[in-house]
Structure 1
Amino acid sequence: MTSSTTSGASALRVAIVTGAGSGIGRAVALALLGAGYAVALAGRRVELLQQVADASGSAERALVVPCDVGDEQAVAALFSATVKTWGRVDLLFNNAGINAPGVLLEDLTLADWRRVVDTNLTGMFLCVREAFRVMKAQQPQGGRIINNGSISAHTPRPNSVAYTSTKHAVMGLTKTASLDGRKYDIAVGQIDVGNAATDLAARMAKGVPQANGEVAIEPLMDVNIVAQSVLYMASLPLEANVMFHTVMATKMPFAGRG
């Protein structure tokens, strides 16, 4: 575990990034560290989190915290470790998520459904709830939460009932948390990403099923564009909030899908 306990820690902007070991979470964590944030890197694979800390060149501002967001006690421990190290939490990038096998709806197992719901929805809720508890109590009060919604919060792909259902639910979570956070100066928004070049999206370049039954290659964009979008949302004063931000590969089949 790498941590910072310098005397100037209280002046740092402090962020938590879940799912920080790979993909969008890794890119955002590196961007935040590059922008001067102290960042708690949360995820299930410690070795990947440590690689992010080492790659940042700012390991003194990185805190590696093993965490399964579907585990209530693990989430509480994540926030507790962050507050113990830096005194507060200014930003939560609520990013951890998984997918189910791309099978026919009628063939999806209950176990796979529950696994996706436990991470993508329950895990996001647990992190939002803990962020509220910390941000409400700290001085100065407040902070920002950015949920990773995905464009699947708006439009499904074929054979994606578990993932799409949870991402639609994340939109409801974002709206409700935004409303409930007003009185505590907690700004809650959502970023909806389409086809960022990550290991998870690599299959897009090989061809994926379309709504009309065809298989087509889809364009990808640099994942660092997503990180810049999160940085922009995070940079706003708490009197302003981007509730929904969509960033995607320009030529991907989203508008007019099907």
Structure 2
Amino acid sequence: MSRVLITAGGSGIGRAMATAFAAAGHQVWVTDVDAASLADIPSDWRATVVDVTDEPGMTALFAAIDETWGGLDALCANAGIAGPTARVEDIALDDWRACVSVNLEGAFLAAKHAAPMMKAAGSGAMVLTSSTAGLYGYPNRAPYAAAKWAVIGLMKTLAMELGPFGIRANAICPGAVEGPRMEGVLQREAAAKGMTRDQVYEGYASGTSMGRFVEARDIANMAVFLASDAARLVSGQVIAVDGHTVNPDPKV
């Protein structure tokens, strides 16, 4: 039974990851910045309200994990925000910084504090949530795309640096995922492009060879695999779970 930490595990992809790991028999610890999202978690999960960009808070989190569990086997650095939807010349620096901070610095701090625990055990798996925006350009989403590309660079470096200690690192790149967060993106992009929400939705779906959005459980299943012994020699990889993007910026 592995001990798994999932950041932003209160809702969306993170909640799906926690559910999948728990169903596979693992111990689960979730964090979220939104206390309300943790109010209804199962009684056998552990939870901490923390902002992943707050290093003192993250330090305290990992100290609690060490005291309670005595170690950590897998980390899912999943916290992220969509950031602004706007042309690059219209993006405020504060909005840029907020988006990059959560998506990139949050993953960095989680990996920074997980690494010593995993090194001590001589094993471990880190799964970082990037995005297909980390594989292609993403018009009107400059800070998000920049951060998600950087997450892949961080993951590649972690894989090289930590591999000699038996620690693996991989990144999942979700495509368009059904749910409230993507719904907000659809609405904002529709407004920015002068299109309807349904037109933007169809553009995303038609940009994949499978012609559909993915679900949070699809991302969760990949995370469980990457953290498992079945993937014991899979490291430094970028794996898209997106229905196969064939046109990252379809015009509809």
Give how far 1:183 is off. 1.6
- Taking the TM superposition and a 5 Å limit, the aligned residue runs for 1:179-258 are 179-203=160-184, 208=189, 215-217=199-201, 218-219=204-205, 220-236=213-229, 239-242=232-235, 243-250=237-244, 254=247, 257=250
2-structure distance, mates of 1:85, 1:161: 40
1-structure distance, mates of 2:65, 2:242: 31
Give how far 1:257 is off. 4.9
With normalisation by structure 1, the TM-score equals 0.84
8 Å CA contact 1:50–1:64 kept in 2: the answer is no
8 Å CA contact 1:195–1:204 kept in 2: the answer is no
**Alignment pair present for 1:13 and 2:2:** yes
1-structure distance, mates of 2:231, 2:238: 15
Consecutive unaligned residues in structure 2, runs of 5 or more: 206-212
Structure 1 equivalent of residue 144 of structure 2: 163
Give how far 1:137 is off. 2.0
2-structure distance, mates of 1:150, 1:238: 21
Distance 1:256 1:72, change over 3 A: closer
Distance 1:90 1:159, change over 3 A: same
> Please, which moves more after superposition, 213-222 or 35-44?
213-222
**Alignment pair present for 1:35 and 2:24:** yes
8 Å CA contact 2:125–2:226 kept in 1: the answer is no
Q: Secondary structure at the match of 1:200?
A: helix
Q: Secondary structure at the match of 2:51?
A: coil
Letter of the 1:246 partner, please give it: A
2-structure distance, mates of 1:143, 1:102: 36
Q: Secondary structure at the match of 1:169?
A: helix
Structure 2 equivalent of residue 9 of structure 1: none
1-structure distance, mates of 2:176, 2:138: 12
C-alpha deviations, 1:73-123, integer Å up to 9, x for none? 111112121221111100000000012221121111111111112111111
Q: Secondary structure at the match of 1:69?
A: coil
2-structure distance, mates of 1:207, 1:105: 15
C-alpha deviations, 1:152-184, integer Å up to 9, x for none? 111132211100010111111011010000121
Give how far 1:222 is off. 2.1
**Alignment pair present for 1:76 and 2:76:** no
Distance 1:255 1:163, change over 3 A: closer
- Taking the TM superposition and a 5 Å limit, the aligned residue runs for 1:119-138 are 119-138=102-121
1-structure distance, mates of 2:148, 2:187: 24
Instruction: Among all aligned residue pairs of Structure 1 and Structure 2, give the percentage whose two residues are the same amino acid.
Output: 29
CA-atom RMSD, angstroms?
Answer: 2.4
Letter of the 2:224 partner, please give it: L
Q: Secondary structure at the match of 1:131?
A: helix
Distance 1:186 1:165, change over 3 A: same
1-structure distance, mates of 2:84, 2:249: 25
Consecutive unaligned residues in structure 1, runs of 5 or more: 1-11
The structure with the greater share of residues assigned to helix is: 2
8 Å CA contact 1:44–1:66 kept in 2: the answer is yes
Give how far 1:202 is off. 2.2
With normalisation by structure 2, the TM-score equals 0.86
Structure 1 equivalent of residue 127 of structure 2: 146
Q: From 63, 71, 74, give the equivalent of 1:88.
A: 71
Q: Secondary structure at the match of 1:201?
A: helix
Query: How many matched pairs?
Result: 238
Letter of the 2:225 partner, please give it: Y
Distance 1:157 1:241, change over 3 A: same
